Amino acid sequence: MGNTMQKSEETKVEEPGLLRQEEDSNFTCEICTEPMLAIRKFKNGSLCKHPFCLDCIAKYIEVTVEESTGCIECPGLNCKQPLDPLSCRRIISKPIFEKWCDHLCDSTVLGSESCYCPYRDCSVLVLNECMDNLKKIKCPNCKKNFCFLCKIPWHAGYRCNESRHLRDRNDILVGELIEEKRWTRCYNCGHSVERVSGCRDIKCKCGVQFCHQCGGPFHFGPSKVMKATKKPADSSWSWRKVLVGSLDYGLQAER
């Protein structure tokens, strides 16, 4: 009787192991519904675990890529998980994999802000990956500065809404000087001002007050605190006249 009980206990211990081994050995593909060995089972990284054979997944990817699809979802019922390209690389041909990667890149570009470098000797595609409101950026390829909003070489000292037709070589040089010296110009008359010390509230010779940081006019908010509000400046003036006029007038900053 003792021997019989011992055999019964051994049988109970071994049964779960046998079941796990059987589950690992065979599965049924949800696409072709054929029984398969575990070695033929596709593994989608750690994203999902639907049972598909390698041949069916490879064919599914090939057909989907030919339809110009970037992100390929798992073919499992109601599954929205994407297929991991790296997990699929070994089961599809190199041309299909490269085409899939091209589609993924195209879909990424279409879903983000992008522009081409405006310099003719470069013209590389630049993406706004941080999704901030970019203006002045440096091309990662040619290392030259340009305006992401205007899609032109960087317009030092000029706002985007100012006509580029008013700029000549001297205007550009003056604009670069204003940017280098961190001067700010009055939004009303366009004079450039250098703040040596004191607060940001600047009173121009023309009578208006503006913020030296953003160039916008000041106004009192509900809490009686001075706030700055940006306002586009008139673009009908000349940079050279403005600079000379500013220095002659001797604009001062209120303290």
With contact defined as beta carbons under 8 Å apart, do 186 and 206 qualify? yes
- How many angstroms separate the most distant Cα atoms in the chain? 116
Specify the 3-state DSSP secondary structure of 201: strand
Torsional class of 191: left (φ above 0), alpha (ψ -120 to 50), beta (otherwise) = beta
Phi, psi of 228 (to 5 degrees): -105, 140
Q: What is the pLDDT of residue 233?
A: 41
Top CATH class, 22-110: alpha beta
Any idea which residue has 């670069």 for tokens? 176
Per-residue pLDDT of the chain (255 residues; tens, 9 = 90+): 444 444 444 444 444 443 344 445 789 999 999 999 989 999 888 888 889 999 999 999 999 998 877 788 999 888 889 998 888 999 999 999 999 988 888 777 666 677 889 888 888 888 776 656 677 888 989 998 888 888 888 877 777 776 565 566 677 677 777 777 777 777 677 677 666 665 666 777 787 777 766 666 765 544 444 444 444 443 333 333 333 333 333 333 333
What is the token pair recorded at 162?
A: 């100012």
Query: Is 23 exposed, middle or buried (CB count within 10 Å of its CB: 0-12, 13-18, 19+)?
Result: exposed
Torsion of CA 15, 16, 17, 21, to 10 degrees: 100
CA atoms within 13 A on the CB side of 62: 11
Residue 187: count of CB within 10 angstroms of its CB: 21
What one-character DSSP code corresponds to residue 233?
P
Q: What is the pLDDT of residue 164?
A: 61
Phi, psi of 25 (to 5 degrees): -85, -30
Specify the 3-state DSSP secondary structure of 126: strand
Q: What is the pLDDT of residue 150?
A: 83
Q: What is the pTM of this model?
A: 0.41
Question: Domains of the chain: which residue ranges?
Answer: 22-110, 114-153, 164-253
Which residues, 6+ apart, have CB-to-CB distance to 211 below 8 Å? 200, 201, 202, 217, 218, 228
With b meaning 16 or more CB within 10 Å and e meaning fewer, what string describes 139-172? beeeeeebbbebeeebbbbbeeebeeeebeeebb
Name the amino acid, one letter, at 189. C
Enumerate the β-bridge partners of residue 48. 44
Any idea which residue has 């040596």 for tokens? 196
